[in-house]
Amino acid sequence: MTATRMQRSTDALLQRYTGVRADSQRLAAPLSDADATVQSMEDTSPAKWHLAHTSWFFETFVLSDAVADYTVFDPGFAYLFNSYYEAAGPRHRRGGRGMLSRPSLQRVLDYRAHVDEAMAAAMPIFGEKHRALVELGLHHEQQHQELLLTDILHLFSQNPIEPVYDRTISLPVAVSEQDAGTGWIAHDGGIVRIGHEEAAADAFAFDCEMPAHAVLLQPFALGARLITNAEWAAFIDDGGYRSPALWLSDGWAWVAREGIDAPLYWARADDGGWTQFTLRGRRRVAPDAPVTHISYFEADAFATWAGARLPREAEWEALCNHQLSQAFDTCWQWTQSAYAAYPGFRPAAGAVGEYNGKFMSGQYVLRGSSWATPQGHARATYRNFFYPHQRWQFTGLRLARDI
Amino acid sequence: MTATRMQRSTDALLQRYTGVRADSQRLAAPLSDADATVQSMEDTSPAKWHLAHTSWFFETFVLSDAVADYTVFDPGFAYLFNSYYEAAGPRHRRGGRGMLSRPSLQRVLDYRAHVDEAMAAAMPIFGEKHRALVELGLHHEQQHQELLLTDILHLFSQNPIEPVYDRTISLPVAVSEQDAGTGWIAHDGGIVRIGHEEAAADAFAFDCEMPAHAVLLQPFALGARLITNAEWAAFIDDGGYRSPALWLSDGWAWVAREGIDAPLYWARADDGGWTQFTLRGRRRVAPDAPVTHISYFEADAFATWAGARLPREAEWEALCNHQLSQAFDTCWQWTQSAYAAYPGFRPAAGAVGEYNGKFMSGQYVLRGSSWATPQGHARATYRNFFYPHQRWQFTGLRLARDI
Amino acid sequence: MTATRMQRSTDALLQRYTGVRADSQRLAAPLSDADATVQSMEDTSPAKWHLAHTSWFFETFVLSDAVADYTVFDPGFAYLFNSYYEAAGPRHRRGGRGMLSRPSLQRVLDYRAHVDEAMAAAMPIFGEKHRALVELGLHHEQQHQELLLTDILHLFSQNPIEPVYDRTISLPVAVSEQDAGTGWIAHDGGIVRIGHEEAAADAFAFDCEMPAHAVLLQPFALGARLITNAEWAAFIDDGGYRSPALWLSDGWAWVAREGIDAPLYWARADDGGWTQFTLRGRRRVAPDAPVTHISYFEADAFATWAGARLPREAEWEALCNHQLSQAFDTCWQWTQSAYAAYPGFRPAAGAVGEYNGKFMSGQYVLRGSSWATPQGHARATYRNFFYPHQRWQFTGLRLARDI
Amino acid sequence: MTATRMQRSTDALLQRYTGVRADSQRLAAPLSDADATVQSMEDTSPAKWHLAHTSWFFETFVLSDAVADYTVFDPGFAYLFNSYYEAAGPRHRRGGRGMLSRPSLQRVLDYRAHVDEAMAAAMPIFGEKHRALVELGLHHEQQHQELLLTDILHLFSQNPIEPVYDRTISLPVAVSEQDAGTGWIAHDGGIVRIGHEEAAADAFAFDCEMPAHAVLLQPFALGARLITNAEWAAFIDDGGYRSPALWLSDGWAWVAREGIDAPLYWARADDGGWTQFTLRGRRRVAPDAPVTHISYFEADAFATWAGARLPREAEWEALCNHQLSQAFDTCWQWTQSAYAAYPGFRPAAGAVGEYNGKFMSGQYVLRGSSWATPQGHARATYRNFFYPHQRWQFTGLRLARDI
C-alpha cells in the first residue's frame, strides 16, 4: 500500500469506513447462509469467507496492533480467514474454504459488528501508520466486494436451476450501449510518466502502482471503445475458436483441453443466437454491449484475428484520461503486460508487504475498472491482475496497434 | 428389490412410511441450511440432497406411475435429484451436488411435505407392485439416513473448528463396551443355505440378497467379537502401517499415496494417546470399543498381522444368528467376499433394477449393521458394499480362520 | 508355487531350463535395443526388462541362496530388476522402467548368459527346495514371455508407423477359424472339485491354485465356443458402447472417460469395416476369429446384451476338459470371479510368497490360455488375473447362463 | 527469423551448413539407439527426434519449397517430426515422442544424409528467401544441439545407474572458476537501444529480437559475475527453501508440491557436502563454479534473500558488452522480464512465423549463453525463454539492484 500522507479527519475516515463496510453487507443481503457458504472452484471463495476475511484484516493488522486491550472475536478465526499472509501464521487451505458450513453467516455478521464497534471506538487514537492501514483495509475490502459478486455469479452458474442474484441489479455490460464511438485514438509515443506519485496528497494507491516513473513509448493507437458482443460473435462465426494460428501456444492448449468455444456463461439459444448467464439470470446477449468473461488467451486471439494487438499497460495509462470511452466502470481490460515490479518497487512494510509483490509471476495486468468495481476504488494507475486462462471476472478488451 | 408378498395393511404401511420419513427429518434437525448444502468429497452427498433424492424416489417410481393426476412438485428436481438411474433420464453430475445452494433446505422440506401428502392420499389405491415399491423406497430412505450421518461426520471433520452434530447422541462405538467375550466360534463347514428366501412371507430384501442358495463351506471359525481400538493401537504400535508385507499390493500403494497411518478421524493427543472425531465432537478413543472407520485394505492388513483372515460372507451369515456378539447394531464388518451376483441373480424389474446389480465390480461386502443403521433395516442376509479404500462409513472387522 | 514333489532328473530339469530360457531370447530376436527399452504405459514393461527380471529371479532366489561362491553379475541390477518383492529389498519405481536405456540389450543378454552358465553348473547340487524354485522360475519366465509379446504389441501400437513385429508369426486369433461348434454345454451342478491337487506327482502349480477343494455349483451352461469378432461387431452396430443399461457402473464411467467404442487396436477402415493392429501389422478383422483385447467391463456388457452372463471360474474348470472348444491356446477368458484366496490358501514360503497373494483385490480371474501362452504353461486349474479395465492382453470371452 | 541481407557466398553457406550438421551428429555419437529413443519427460525430446526434426525443418521449409523434383525421404516423417507448426499439418503428440523405437537411429542418420545431399546439390540455386531459411534452419539446429545435451542429461539422471555421457567432456560450470571478479557494475540509466538492428549486414537474429528500439532505464547495477555454488549452498543452509517469505506465491506452491530443496541434480553426499549429476557422471559440486539447473522461482527467491533482484533483459543487454564477466558461454541467466513482443514486433512470414511469437505467454527471458551453446549461436540481443518452474537447462543467475 504505502499510501502517502493520510490526512483525512477521524470523522471522514470513520464515515468512509462505515460506508464501505455497509456496502459489503448490502451485496451479501440477497444471499442465504447456504449461498454464502459454497466454494464453486478453487479460484473463488464463499461470500461468507469474503465477509469474514476482510474483517480479519482489520482485526489482525489494525486492532490487534493498535489497541492494547482488544479482544479478538474468536481465536479460531485467524486460522480460518487468513488468506495467504505467511507472516500472519498458519491457515486453512484455499481449496477447503467451502467446507466451512460453520461459522454461520449470522455469526460472521456478528464478527463484523464486533470489529466495526472496536474500529469506531479506536478510530480517534489511530496514528499515521494505522490510519494508512485502515485505508488499505478499505481498498482491500472493495476488492473483495467485486470478487463476492463474480464468485456468486460463478456459483450460480454451476447450479442447473440458475438462480437469480438480484432481478433488478443494473448490468451496464449486459444491455446495449449507446454507440461508444469508433476508430482509434493515436499517441505519438515518447517519454510518458506512469504510476502513482507518492507526493499526491490524500491519495491512496497500492504499492505495486509505485514508484511513478518514466517510460519510453513508440507511437501507437488504442481503440476508442471496447470490443462488443456482436464483434465477438463474428469472431466465433469466423471460426476463431477453431483456428490454431490465431492463438498463443498455451492458449490453444487450453482451448483444446477445456473445450472452449465461447465466452464463459454464453450458451446457444434454440434460434442460434446467444444467451449469457448474469446476476439477473440468463439473458439474451446484447450485441452492442462490451464482451465480458473472456480470458487473456481469448483476448489475444481476437486481437490477432482483428489484425491488431492488446495494449501495453503504459499505453493504456498514457491515454486513459483522454479520449478513451469506457476506460472505467464497464469492464476490466486485458493488457499484454505481464504483472511485474515497476523499477524501484518496494513492497509495503510489514505483513501487508505480501499483498502484491509475491504474485508477480504468470499473471497479466488488466486496466480500468468494471461496472462492479466500487465507486472510488479504481484510478488511472490501478493494476488489476489475473492468470491468462481466468475469465470469471468482468474482463473484456480494447484493441491497440502500432502506428 | 423383488420383495415378496406385501401383506401389510394400508394403515400399517402408511404408519411405517410416516415413521421412516419423520426419522430422516429428525436426523437433519441439527443442521443449518449451509450444513445441509456442502458436499465434502465426491463420495458424499449433502444432507439436503439425501432428503430430496429419497423424495424423488417416491415421486418418480411410485406417484408418477400410480397416480394419474399427480403433479410433480418441481419439474427441475428430476434433473437435480436422480442419483444414477440411467432409465430415469439425464441428471446432475455427482461431483456437483454441493453446488446446489438452491433449492434451500426449507424448499426441500416443502418438497417432502408435498410428496408425503400425495403418498398418504394415494396409499389406499396402491396395488401389489406399488406397495412393493413403497417398501423398497423406505429401505432406500433408511440407507440414506445412515449415509446422511456418515456424510455429515465427514463434512464436519473437514472443518478446522470441528463442529458438533449432537452433543448428546448415543455412540456405542465410541464408548467402552462391556467385555464382549473372547475366543472363536467354530463351524464344521458343509452345505449351508444363505440368502433371502423368496417364500418368506411379509419380509423385505434387496434383489442382491436373492436367490437363497446352498454354499459349501470348509471348516472355519469366526472371532466371537469385533476388534477393538486397543487392539488396533497395538497394530499401529507394532509398525502395522509401515510393514508392506502385511498389505495387499493395492492397499500398500494406497497407504503410501495417501499417507495413511491410523483410522480415519484418529489423531494423536499431546500425551501420545489417540483421539477420534465423532458426531459428538472430538473425544478420547475408547480402548474397549470396536475400531471403526477403517478401509478393507486396513482390515485385511490387520488380519494378516493377527495371523488370521477376514470372513467370507457365507461364513458370517452361517454363524451370525448363533454365538457371535456384535453381529448387528455396532459396526459394519468387512468380509473378503467381492460383491457379486448370487447364482441365479436377476435384477429387479424396471428402473429400480439399477439399484444393486450395476455396482457388482470392485467392491467388497460388509455384513451386519452399525449403531447408525435404522432399527429394522438390516438382517442376516443383508449385503452392504463399498470400495476397498473407503472408510467414512462405520466400518470395523471381525477375524476368521481356517480350522 | 508350492509345487509338489519335484522328481525330474537333473538332466531333464536342465533341458527344460535351457529350452525356456532360449524361448525368451527367440521372442526378443526381432527387437532392436530401442524396441526393447521403451515402456509404453505403466502397465507394460520393456522387453529388456522382462529378459533381465526373469534372470534376476533365478539369481536372487536360487543362485544367491544355493551357491556359496556365486558372484552376482552386477550389484546394481537388484535395484533395477526387482519387480515387486518387498522382501528382496528396495527397487526402481515401476513407472520408470522405460528410463533404462542402459544397461543395453546386449548387456542384458550377457547377464542372461552369466546366470545360465551358473545355473547349468549348479543344477546337480540343487536339492528339493531349489529345484522347486527353478521350476517356479521357469513358469515365471513363461508368464513374462507372453507379457513380452503383449507389451511389444502395445508399444508398436503407440507408434504412428505401426511397426511389424514379425510378418510371419502365426496368429490364430487373427484369422478365421473353422466353425468351432455352437450351442451350450450344460452341467447339472452339484459338488465339484477344483484347484490343484498337491498330491499330483511331478506337476507344477502356483500357490493360488491350491488347495484343491469342493465347490457347490447350481446347474449352468457354458457357450461351446468363444465369442467371435463378427458377434462383437454386431454388438457395436447395435449401440452396445452407447447403452449405459448394459454396463456395470464402473464400466460405463470407464467408457465415458476414455472414449471407448471398440476393442483395443480396432480401427474403422475407409469402407466401414474393421481393421486390427497385430504383431503382423494392421490387418482386416477376421469375422470368425475370437474377439480379443477386450476388458472385463466390455465382456460383461456383451454378455448382458446377449442375455447371458460370464462364467464363474469353478464352472469353467468343471467343464474345461469336456466339450468346450477353444478352452486353451486361443485367448484368455474373463470369468465373473474376483481373484481371491481359495479356502485354506497359504502363500508360498519365503520371498516368493509375494508372487500371488498380495494381488488378491480388485482383479478378475481369466481362465484358459492364449495362442501366445508357451506350450506346457497353462492347465485346467490355472488362474490368470487382471484389472477389469485392462485389455492389452489376449483376452476374450465365453458366455454362461443359468439353467 | 527475418534475417537481413544474406550475403554469404554459396560456398560459405554450404561450409557452414556442413559444419553445423556434423556437430549434431558428433553430439549424438556417444549415444546408443536406445539412449536416443527414450523421452524422459514431456519437456524433453529423444536425441533421435532432435536429429530428425532438424532435418525435417530443412526438408519442409527449404527443399520441398525450392527444389521442384525433390523427393521426401519418407512421407510418414512429416507426421512424426513436425514439432508444433500448425501450418505444416497434423503431427504426433509431444508426449508420445518416446514411443518411436522405430525409425531407428541408423534410419534417422540415413534421413540426415538424404537431406544433406539434397541440400548440397541445391545450395547454388537458392535465392535470398531460401538462403535466409537455411540460415534460420542452422540456428534452429544449434538450439536443438543444446537441447540434445540437456535432454540426455535429464534422461541419464532418471536412471539409477547414472550413465556417463562423455567422461572427458569439458564442463566449465562444474569445475572451480578463477575468481570472476566481485562487486557491481553500475549504469546511469537513460535511453538505451536494444534488440537487433535490421540493417546489420550479414547478421542473423530471430524475429523476436526485432525491431531494435529505445528503452528508458532507471539507474541500476548488475553483479559483475554469476552466483556460485558456494553462495547457493549458503542460501540452502540459511533455510532458503523453507522460508515462504522469500518466494513468489507460485514458486512457493511449486516448492511445496514438488518437495524442492536444492538445484536439480544435486544430492547430499555422505559427508554432508553436495554432489551434482553431470554429463561426466556424478561429481562433487565445485564451490566457485556458477550454480546451474535452477528455476526462475529459485533464482528470484535467492535474489530476494540476497537483498537484490533479478536483472531486466534491457539492463542485461545494456551492460553485457562492457564489464560483465561470464555474460556468455557459461550459463543462461534468468531475467525478471516476461517473454513478450518488442514494440513493432512482426512474426516472420510463412510457417516459420510460429517459431517464436506464439510462445509469448507465461515464460521468462534468459540472456547470455551456456557452455553448451554452440559457438557463434548466441549474441547480445539473444532471447532464450523458459517457464519459471523449468530447470533442466543450464540456467543460473546474476543479481541486479536499483541504485
pLDDT digits (tens, 9 = 90+) for D107-153: 999 999 999 999 999 999 999 999 999 999 999 999 999 999 999 99
CB contact at 8 A, A304 and A320: no
Specify the pLDDT at position C174: 63
CA distance D29 to chain C (A): 15
Cα within 13 Å of Cα(C120), Cβ side: 10
CA dist C114 and C176 (Å) reads 43
Q: Who among A99, A103, A159 is closest to B100 (CB)? A: A159
Q: Please count the other Cβ atoms lying within 10 Å of the Cβ belonging to residue C295.
A: 26
Largest CA distance in chain B: 66
Show Cβ contacts of residue D259 under 8 Å, excluding neighbours closer than 6 positions. Answer: none
CA dist A231 and A286 (Å) reads 11
Q: Are strands A395-396 and B190-194 parallel, antiparallel or unpaired?
A: unpaired
**Interface chains of chain A (3 or more CB pairs under 8 Å):** B, D
CB contact at 8 A, D50 and D144: yes
* B361 to C248: CB separation less than 8 angstroms, yes or no: yes
pLDDT tens digit sequence for C70-109 = 999 999 999 999 988 888 888 899 999 999 999 999 999 9
CB contact at 8 A, B173 and B290: yes
Q: Who among B87, B250, B360 is closest to C248 (CB)? A: B360
Specify the pLDDT at position A145: 98
Given a cut of 90, whether residue C202 has pLDDT beyond it is no
* D86 to A297: CB separation less than 8 angstroms, yes or no: no
List, in sequence order, every residue forming a beta bridge with B309; answer none if it has no partner.
B400
Q: DSSP letter at C285?
A: P
Q: Who among A191, A338, A359 is closest to D216 (CB)? A: A191
Specify the pLDDT at position A5: 42
CB contact at 8 A, A212 and A379: no
Percentages helix, strand, coil for chain D (3-state, rounded to 5) are 40, 15, 45
Given a cut of 60, whether residue C226 has pLDDT beyond it is yes
Q: What is the 3-state secondary structure (H, E, C) of chain B?
A: CCCCCCCCCHHHHHHHHHHHHHHHHHHHCCCCCCCCCCCCCCCCCCHHHHHHHHHHHHHHHHHHHHCCCCCCCCCCHHHHHCCCCHHHCCCCCHHHHHHCCCCCHHHHHHHHHHHHHHHHHHHHHCCHHHHHHHHHHHHHHHHHHHHHHHHHHHHHHCCCCCCCCCCCCCCHHHCCCCCCCCCEEEECCEEEEECCCCCCCCCCCCHHHCCCEEEEECCEEEECCCCEHHHHHHHHHCCHHHCHHHCCHHHHHHHHHHCCCCCCCEEECCCCCEEEEECCEEEECCCCCECCCCCHHHHHHHHHHCCCECCCHHHHHHHCCCCCCCCCCECEEEEEEECCCCCCCCCCCCHHHHCCHHHCCCCEEEECCECCCCCCCCCCCCCEEECCCCCCCCEECCCEEEC
* A34 to B101: CB separation less than 8 angstroms, yes or no: yes
Specify the pLDDT at position C201: 57
* C343 to B191: CB separation less than 8 angstroms, yes or no: no
Contact residues, chain D to chain C, C-beta under 8 Å: 32-38, 40, 76, 79-80, 92, 96, 98-105, 155, 158-161, 163
> Angle at the Cα of C347 (from C344 to C348), degrees rounded to 5?
125
* A362 to D250: CB separation less than 8 angstroms, yes or no: yes
Whole-number average pLDDT of chain C: 93
Which stretches of chain A score pLDDT less than 70? Answer: 1-8, 173-182, 200-202
ipTM higher than the 0.90 cut: yes
Specify the pLDDT at position A4: 41
- What length does chain C have? 403
Given a cut of 50, whether residue D7 has pLDDT beyond it is no
Specify the pLDDT at position A172: 72
B174 band by pLDDT with thresholds 50, 70 and 90: low
Grid cell digits, residue D304: 530476494
pLDDT tens digit sequence for A284-332 = 999 999 999 999 999 999 999 999 999 999 999 999 987 788 999 999 9
Specify the pLDDT at position C5: 43
D181 band by pLDDT with thresholds 50, 70 and 90: low
CA dist C226 and A329 (Å) reads 71
CA distance C77 to chain D (A): 9
CA distance B294 to chain A (A): 23
Identify from B101, B105, B164 which residue to disrupt to test chain A contact, counting A C-beta atoms within 10 A and taking the largest count.
B101
CA dist C9 and C134 (Å) reads 13
Identify from D218, D249, D401, D402 which residue to disrupt to test chain A contact, counting A C-beta atoms within 10 A and taking the largest count.
D249
Residues D248-267, mean pLDDT to the nearest whole number: 97
CA dist C325 and C180 (Å) reads 6
Q: Who among A87, A216, A344 is closest to D402 (CB)? A: A344
Q: Comparing C-alpha atoms, which of D220, D329, A93, A172 is closest to residue B160?
A: A93
Grid cell digits, residue B200: 418368506
Grid cell digits, residue A160: 442447473
Q: Please count the other Cβ atoms lying within 10 Å of the Cβ belonging to residue B173.
A: 24
pLDDT tens digit sequence for B359-378 = 999 999 999 999 999 999 99
Whether B and D touch, i.e. at least 3 CB pairs below 8 A, reads as no
Q: Are strands B281-284 and B213-217 parallel, antiparallel or unpaired?
A: unpaired
C and D: number of Cβ contacts within 8 A: 81
Among B102-116, B276-290, C161-175, the minimum mean pLDDT is found in C161-175
Given a cut of 90, whether residue B208 has pLDDT beyond it is yes
pTM beyond 0.90: yes
* A99 to B158: CB separation less than 8 angstroms, yes or no: yes
* D101 to C160: CB separation less than 8 angstroms, yes or no: no
CA dist C9 and C126 (Å) reads 11
The number of angstroms, rounded, from the C-alpha of A22 to the middle of its chain's C-alpha atoms is: 19
CB contact at 8 A, B364 and B386: yes
Residues B122-133, mean pLDDT to the nearest whole number: 94
Q: Which residue has the cell 449486459?
A: A174
C2 band by pLDDT with thresholds 50, 70 and 90: very low
Specify the pLDDT at position C323: 78
Whole-number average pLDDT of chain D: 93
CA distance A110 to chain B (A): 17
* B-chain residues near C87 (CB < 8 A): 245
